[in-house]
Amino acid sequence: MYETLIISKEDGILTITLNRPDALNALNIQLLDELKMAIQDSMDDPEVKGVIITGAGPKAFAAGADIKEISDLNELNARKFAESGQEIFQLIENHTKPVIAAVNGFALGGGCELAMACHLRIASSNARFGQPEANLGLIPGYGGTQRLTQLIGKGKALELMMTCDMISAQQAMQLGLANAVVEEGDELMEKTKSILQKILTKSPAAIERIIQSVNAHFENGQDGYQVEANGFSGCVGTEDFREGVSAFMDKRSPNFTGN
């Protein structure tokens, strides 16, 4: 069904692998269209409880938007191109289920922007992050100016975008861009899955509302405190809340359903 993605589903975890390794998994239009479909499917599929996005091959998560494609843009379609990519990344950011990027190499330009749209980023030690668009006479167009600033603060975000410097996985972790760093190889998926599995033992109804409330902090016109209060009261109406409390009283592990 997909030509630029490999999809696998196991134990409630959908893994989306960006699969253009010869182009370092550069995000071309076809890949972005397919990614949008895969993300929408993951929202609708009740068997999917969480999502991992990673890149094929040992070298790259994604080395950015496909430079060959963007070289043909004009001012009119460039705006559409940026907005449609932003829409896909917003779908990921606002996903009701947890989405983790397993960053297995270069995460540059649009690739870094994709990783930042995910809720968490686990990096292998060979990962490199950067927003090198200014080298091409461009700026980030898939939300990078906003999300990088949110994640690492204005000064460092400006530095990375203006110098186009790539940073290591360790530096990314120190800045709060990566949540954890592991040895390259199998450990990356093992660690990413173990973090996701831990999240999946919590109440899905609560996780969804945590995502909504945190995102509200960054959305214009949203009162994050109100979104949090609504989310909190929404949780109290769920079966998960009753289950969580009775499991605590009974000194047993809760069995959440997300209802």
State yes or no: is 133 an active-site residue.
yes
Nearer to ligand CO8, 14 or 26 (CB): 26
State yes or no: is 239 an active-site residue.
no
Nearer to ligand CO8, 124 or 213 (CB): 124
Minimum Å distance from CB 140 to ligand CO8?
6
How many alpha carbons lie under 13 Å from residue 230 in its C-beta half-sphere?
A: 13
Rg of the chain (C-alpha set)? 19
Query: Which of 10, 69, 87, 133 does the annotation list as catalytic?
Result: 133
Nearer to ligand CO8, 50 or 141 (CB): 141
The amino acid that residue 4 corresponds to is T
116 vs 204: CA distance, rounded Å: 22
Compute CA 155 distance to the chain's CA centroid, rounded to the nearest angstrom: 23
Question: Which residues make up the interface to ligand CO8 (CB under 6 A)?
Answer: 23-24, 26, 63-68, 70, 78, 81-82, 85, 106, 108-110, 132-133, 136, 138, 140-142
Minimum Å distance from CB 27 to ligand CO8?
7
Query: Which of 113, 159, 183, 208 does the annotation list as catalytic?
Result: 113
Minimum Å distance from CB 41 to ligand CO8?
24
Ordered alpha helix ranges (H), the chain: 29-44, 67-70, 75-93, 110-117, 144-152, 154-163, 169-175, 186-200, 204-216, 224-236, 239-249
User: Which residues are the active-site residues?
Assistant: 113, 133
